[in-house]
Amino acid sequence: MSGARRLVHETWGDHAALLARSEHGRDGSVGVVRPQVVDVASPNDPLHLELGGRLDHVAVSFETYGELDARGANAVLVCHALTGSAHAAGRHGPHDVPGWWDPLIGAGRALDVRSHFVVSSNVLGGCYGSTGPTSIDPTTGRSYGPTFPRFTVRDMVEVQRRLLDHLGVQRLRAVVGGSMGGMQALEWAVTHPERVGALVAIAIGARHSAWAIGLNEVARRARICRASSAPAAGARLTEAFAREVLRCG
């Protein structure tokens, strides 16, 4: 039957849901997509980090959906949360897992690719193609690991700005993100208000409480423990701590 739908269980990123899918939508909302990588820094134009470090090369993994208009003004930037990637929609292959926001991006969906040019990138320091601790430090020939310079959400946004300049985006219709992605959306409003038409900041506040800062500091120390001398103990500490936070919430 034309237009028939069926219930399917799908996962994208760390999330899962029961969705009504068209029988003809096997490739996902935007079909098969191709991840891309571009270097947005150079020795002549390095990325100076807010806390004092410097990166001469910054690779950015990204995906785009839809077409940029002639004025470069129909773009929507999608910002992922802490563990996310640039793969927000579609599939990399016919049988691959769809992007983490696949139900929201596509023709006739919340982020409609018929009228919007949607951009999703892996943040600075991410684990899915952008420059981060697993990247090679050109001064040593080995991965940065724990020596990767400290960076902030403002640095993430600066990398995104450079990517958008590379793509020819002049102005964003909106910046959309949840959790750490919401932090990036708020930072865009602070540092580049003239380039942002609207914000959709989900599950985030304008500032952290002392309690939230303390929780994040404990989690950070647990991760450092995992990456250095006691990986098993660090992993157990992180998992136990996460369970307690969820219970408190």
Specify the higher pLDDT residue, 2 or 51.
51
Q: What is the DSSP string of 178-236?
A: ETHHHHHHHHHHHH-GGGBS-EEEES--SS--HHHHHHHHHHHHHHHHHHTT-HHHHHH
pLDDT digits (tens, 9 = 90+) for 131-155: 999 999 999 999 999 899 999 999 9
pLDDT at 27: 45
pLDDT of residue 26: 47
Find all residues with CB under 8 Å of 119, minimum gap 6, and list them. Answer: 62, 63, 64, 75, 76, 77, 78, 163, 164, 167, 169
Any residues with CB less than 8 A from the CB of 53 and at least 6 apart, and which? 149, 150, 151
Residue 236 — very low, low, confident or very high, per pLDDT cuts 50/70/90? low
Q: How far, in Å, are 37, 60, 134, 141, 215 from residue 47 at the CA level?
A: 17, 13, 18, 20, 29
The pTM for the full model equals: 0.82
Q: Does domain 5-207 have CATH number 3.40.50.300?
A: no
CA-closest candidate to residue 18, choices 3, 4, 8: 8
Domain residue spans in the chain? 5-207, 208-249
pLDDT digits (tens, 9 = 90+) for 59-87: 999 999 999 999 999 999 999 998 899 99
